[in-house]
Chains A and B, each alone.
Chain A
Amino acid sequence: MPERGKLGRAAIAAPIERLRARTWERLPDWTHPLIWFALCILVLVVPTFDDIWVRMFFLVGLYATLGLGLNVVVGMAGLLDLGYVAFFATGAYVVGILSAPDSPHYSAFFSYWYLLPMAVGIGALVGVLLGLPVLPLRGDYLAIVTLGFGEIIRILALNMSDQTNGSSGLFEIGRPDISYLHNLGLTGRSTVDNVQYFYVMIVIAAFAVWFVTSRLRDSRVGRAWEAIREDEDAARGMGINTTRYKLMAFSTGAAIGALGGAIYAPFIDFIAPNSFSLLVSINVLALVIIGGMGSTQGVVAGSLILIGVPELLQFSETADVLSKFDWVGQGVNQVIDGINAVTHLDLSTLPPAEKWGAKLALYRFIIFGALLVAIMVLRPSGLFPSRRRKMEFEHTPEHETAGPAGTA
């Protein structure tokens, strides 16, 4: 029966469509200030949380920073870069190589505050260098080659052991000295060496990056990037030097990636080639897509989910909360016992609630994966699609049959 497949698909598609219709395709405008307000409050209260939470929020902030950087390359200029970790690693290694005591190039001369801009600058330079050979490539080809770059940097870090200590990595990376602020009585410590201080640092970095990228978006540069994303040939015809603007996009994204790396290295205190695997690139790209390409709230939401949820599922606090729901488990178990009694099924009952936390931690990536799939099914353009993409969604059905335009 040929009808059957069709029916089956409709049976699945219809409820999904209904669900999609019910999720807000976009938040009403009045919620935007509220969201920003809530975010600011969250940012401000985080340092009062337990260290493990602050650590998580540091990582969220780090990935949001990286996401904003990658968004310049992928979201604005439309260059699919799967090797973003290369720049993150560059930043981390610039700081590591020059400030770890056991590094062959250790130099007491460089304080962290010299190394940070140096890392950003070298990152920008590496962005240009890696950008040059891929300039003529488009789409999938670009993605594959950049994927290679991510790996090349990792393997270089592994094999250039005279510079990087190879697989044994670099320890005790120099931490930011803030004795100046300390002497002014503004800070309680004279170096950034606990999670709260690093958290503050990454928040400042994220806001700076947000400011820079949103200014760029609304400028001649941002428009040139978008034009290249939309139609590279037409952009050239309109006077845009695509070579120059593509390199600018690569370089800007790379500098931001290196900034992230330069803050991550002293925070984690130990870097080795394995810290810079393909997974980092994929995570950053995923959070940009899940959040909604091109939108800042999207990047923040994406990193909260992508970094926050797997961590959340394994926290002892989560386990504690779950253990309070033993009554739910008992109720469910009674139902299961009942079913077992009247049927010949032998369904197993739920374990006691104290064990739920451990189970959750064990299966967290399954749950996480399901969540990601659900998000992309329900909101294919991401959680917070950028304004422009939302408009696309509002209008497309009307004009899909716009005739000759379709052949263009």
Chain B
Amino acid sequence: MDGARLQTIGLGMRFQGLTALADIDIDVPAGQIRGLIGPNGAGKTTLFNCLTGFYRPTSGELRLGDMRVDGLEPHELSALGISRTFQNIRLFSNMTALENVLVGAHTHMGDVRATPPAAVRPSGNRLVDIARALPGAPAGAYGSVREFVGAVARPPVVRASERRAVGFARDLLRTVGLINRENEIARNMPYGDQRRLEIARALATRPRLLLLDEPTAGMNPQESAAVVALIRRVRNEFGATVILIEHQMRVVMGVCEQVTVLDYGRKIAEGTPAEVQRDRRVVEAYLGTRAVGGDSHGTA
């Protein structure tokens, strides 16, 4: 897994009358940890939703590596290596911790078949070409029947892939410190553990770009510090590019190499954490809501 460069070019998102994002140009180099900050309602989560295909941007372009990826479905973007956590935890609450992570490993198990993009016969449609080259079971009815038969008959390849996935999922649970809780039902886990489980689940998709939406929200300083260490480890070990939405300045200063600031759907500043903190517009944006350096803020 290697990190991928992310670029948005003039990205915009309008909801009926409301412009949630306008003209966003962001360029995150491969392997960087980028902070994304801004007052409540600035459009940070909306940007994540655009990057993951939950919202279809109303204007602009989205590039991952050297591929243009806007317009793809969430599961296709996930297969291309964009993964995320949610601001208000969205685990599969009645499944065990291990099963949650295994769902994350979905794309990369079983009949994995990634056609090199070069080998795909061009169809004239950019989105179709990308979808054809994605990893995962073969598409369409044939792929579904094949997967069905594989699940029922359980030939050695399927067993082996299941074993590998379980091993991989356990490794990830160990990474986030939840290996002793693998059989616990997600909804019964303490809040901090749920946050970390969500990170493990996101990692299971083998992201090249990992989007973390307030991973330390509602955590005490020790827990936050552990998550910061985890984020750094994730980048170093898994090589993923990371974008981190965060309200606690301590966390931003501690882990982000660059910070992008949004306000009212626009990018108002960008730079190192220290530069951004000194920026006049940033201070103004936060005045009236909350001073920069303000600590935790409520979830959701």
- Measured CB to CB, the residues of A under 8 A from B are 211-212, 215-216, 219-224, 226-227, 230-231, 233-242, 244, 247-248, 252, 388-389, 391-392, 395-396, 398-399, 402-405, 407-408
Stretch at the interface among B13-21, B24-32, B102-110, B255-263: B102-110
Between B79, B136, B185, B190, the greatest number of chain A beta carbons within 10 A of the residue's beta carbon is seen for B185
Asked if B151 lies at the interface with its beta carbon under 8 angstroms from chain A, I say yes
* Nearest opposing residue in chain B for A242, CB measure: B75
One of A224, A399, A405 near B103 (C-beta < 8 A)? A224
* Nearest opposing residue in chain A for B219, CB measure: A404
One of A224, A392, A404 near B185 (C-beta < 8 A)? A392
* Nearest opposing residue in chain A for B191, CB measure: A405
A37 to chain B, nearest CB (A): 26
A408 and B89 in contact, given A247-B144, A402-B191 (Cβ under 8 angstroms): yes
* Residue pair B103, A227 in contact (C-beta under 8 Å): yes
* Nearest opposing residue in chain B for A398, CB measure: B188
Roughly how many angstroms separate A399 CA and B83 CA in the complex, as a whole number?
28
* Residue pair A231, B90 in contact (C-beta under 8 Å): yes
Instruction: Flag B126-144 by CB within 8 Å of A: 1 or 0 each.
Output: 0000000000100000011
Given contact pairs A238-B201, A408-B86, a sample of 4 additional A-B residue pairs in the complex whose CB atoms are under 8 Å apart: A226-B92, A226-B94, A398-B188, A408-B194
Across the A-B interface, the 5 shortest Cβ-Cβ residue pairs: A219-B151, A239-B78, A230-B92, A239-B107, A404-B218
Roughly how many angstroms separate A235 CA and B75 CA in the complex, as a whole number?
8
* Nearest opposing residue in chain B for A403, CB measure: B191
Roughly how many angstroms separate A403 CA and B217 CA in the complex, as a whole number?
12
Roughly how many angstroms separate A211 CA and B93 CA in the complex, as a whole number?
27
* Residue pair A233, B151 in contact (C-beta under 8 Å): no
* Residue pair A402, B190 in contact (C-beta under 8 Å): yes
Asked if B241 lies at the interface with its beta carbon under 8 angstroms from chain A, I say no
B138 to chain A, nearest CB (A): 11
Asked if B154 lies at the interface with its beta carbon under 8 angstroms from chain A, I say yes
Number of residues of chain B lying within 8 A (CB) of chain A: 52
List chain B residues, Cβ under 8 A from A221. Answer: 147-148, 151
List chain A residues, Cβ under 8 A from B54. Answer: 233, 236-237
Asked if B181 lies at the interface with its beta carbon under 8 angstroms from chain A, I say no
* Residue pair B78, A238 in contact (C-beta under 8 Å): yes
One of A240, A399, A407 near B187 (C-beta < 8 A)? A399
Instruction: Flag B65-97 by CB within 8 Å of A: 1 or 0 each.
Output: 000000001110011000110101111111110
* Residue pair B86, A227 in contact (C-beta under 8 Å): no
The residues in B between 99 and 130 inclusive whose CB is less than 8 angstroms from any CB of A are 99, 102-104, 106-107, 109-110
List chain A residues, Cβ under 8 A from B91. Answer: 230-231, 234
List chain A residues, Cβ under 8 A from B204. Answer: 238
Between A240, A241, A389, A403, the greatest number of chain B beta carbons within 10 A of the residue's beta carbon is seen for A241
* Nearest opposing residue in chain A for B92, CB measure: A230
List chain A residues, Cβ under 8 A from B102. Answer: 223
List chain B residues, Cβ under 8 A from A222. Answer: 151
One of B148, B188, B218 near A395 (C-beta < 8 A)? B188
* Residue pair A215, B104 in contact (C-beta under 8 Å): no
List chain A residues, Cβ under 8 A from B201. Answer: 238
* Nearest opposing residue in chain A for B188, CB measure: A395
